[in-house]
Amino acid sequence: MIFGKITETEAYCGPNDLASHASRGRTKRTEIMFGKPGLIYVYMIYGMYYCFNIVTEKEDYPAAVLIRGVKVEHSAKRLALSDMLILDGPGKLCRKFKIDKKLNGLDICKNSEIWIENRGEKTKLRNIKTTPRVGIDYAGKYKNKPWRFILNSKTKKLT
């Protein structure tokens, strides 16, 4: 078993957000984004990396949060020195957590494959940095929205 703390996310909000897949309308690929909150939306980028998202708004309003980074806190297997304690990128975290299309459409609250839980840890707002999202220069007025959230962490990557 492996678990960790989410350290970085990006928000994609509504049909007008040109960075969102849903801005192109309701399609077979984006149907999950129009579903109920808590559904898992997994897609592949560059033909090789999966991205893990969770639908966040009411049904028929497409919005999701991309999980971009995780600090690994436990693994049943000892982490090799080549593994990073901080998985800084959606592809890295999907590989480590074995997230792929088989999770697409599952409810994050009602499955035993993967879940998110509140561990009771308090985070002060000053410990969360906001920046524009990554790699969306094409998104017009949405490209500079401060919808990327990074938890400041003192943990260093292993090299």
Query: Hey, what amino acid is at 119?
Result: R
Residues 6+ apart with CB under 8 A from 155: 71, 85, 86
pTM for the whole structure = 0.88
Share of the chain above pLDDT 90, in %: 72
Closest residue by Cα to residue 60 from 26, 100, 11: 26
* pLDDT tens digits for range 124-150: 888 999 999 999 999 999 999 999 999
Do 129 and 143 touch, CB atoms closer than 8 A?
A: no
Fold (CATH) for 2-151: 3-methyladenine DNA Glycosylase; Chain A (3.10.300)
* pLDDT tens digits for range 78-128: 555 445 478 889 999 999 999 999 999 999 999 899 999 888 888 888 899
